[in-house]
Amino acid sequence: MISIVLFEDKANMRESLKLLIESETDFKLLEMFPNCKNAKQHILTHQPDVVLMDIDMPGVNGIEGVKIIKSVRPETQIIMLTVFEDDDKIFESIKAGADGYILKKSIPTELLSAIHNASVGGSSISPGVASKVLNAFREKSKASNVNTFSLSKREQEVLELLTKGYSYKKIAADLFVSIDTIGSHIKNIYSKLQVNSAPEAVAKALRLKIV
């Protein structure tokens, strides 16, 4: 039997989810709550296998709720159940410790499958969200690497064009600056990346995912 606790502020959605969960003979809905105000106490009392967590709730939101639950009972699997496809909310939820991210508009069988997956330590993410998660992590990783070398925005642009095989003249034309200016940017790039040539700079940029 898979035990479940639901956090959802909208009464009609709580009732719909209750009916869906209770339609499965191996699911047991322990309790439903309209917010995460007392999430710590609720989780310690009920000790559910799976939590269905809305994001946009008054007071303590779902992302904070995930942090609270994972801090007191990390083995509880948490599925974010939300209307949001916003990149920041997705990324913040996963960083907080969410084990899955399902859109409320998903078909019921997708949610039921997600609960089953979560109960055995698996992760479920709606297809439309999966690509956003990947892109978010890529962008965060890219930003982190760029910051490591302290490249300016213009230097990053020049380096990206170098990786595309552009000549100094072509880069200058695309960025509407002089070739001398591009030469100056490239010298700075070499210095910051600690390389001595364009091929070295391109190889390092690609290897470390700077561009």
**What range does the domain containing 77 cover?**
2-128
Amino acid at 178: S
pTM of the model: 0.62
- 58 vs 106, higher pLDDT: 58
List pLDDT tens digits, range 132-149.
665 555 565 566 666 678
Contacts of 77 (CB under 8 A, 6+ apart): 49, 50, 51, 99, 100, 118, 119, 121
Q: Could you tell me how far CA 57 lies from the centroid of its own chain?
A: 19
Distances (CA, A) of 63 to 31, 117, 204: 19, 21, 36
Do 120 and 191 lie in one domain? The reply is: no
Question: Average pLDDT for residues 149-156, to the nearest whole number?
Answer: 90
| Domain final position from 128, 160, 194 | 128
Do 17 and 120 lie in one domain? The reply is: yes
Evaluate whether residue 133 is within a structural domain: no
Do 28 and 111 lie in one domain? The reply is: yes
Distances (CA, A) of 80 to 71, 151, 188: 17, 36, 45
Q: Give me the number of domains the chain comprises.
A: 2
Do 122 and 181 lie in one domain? The reply is: no
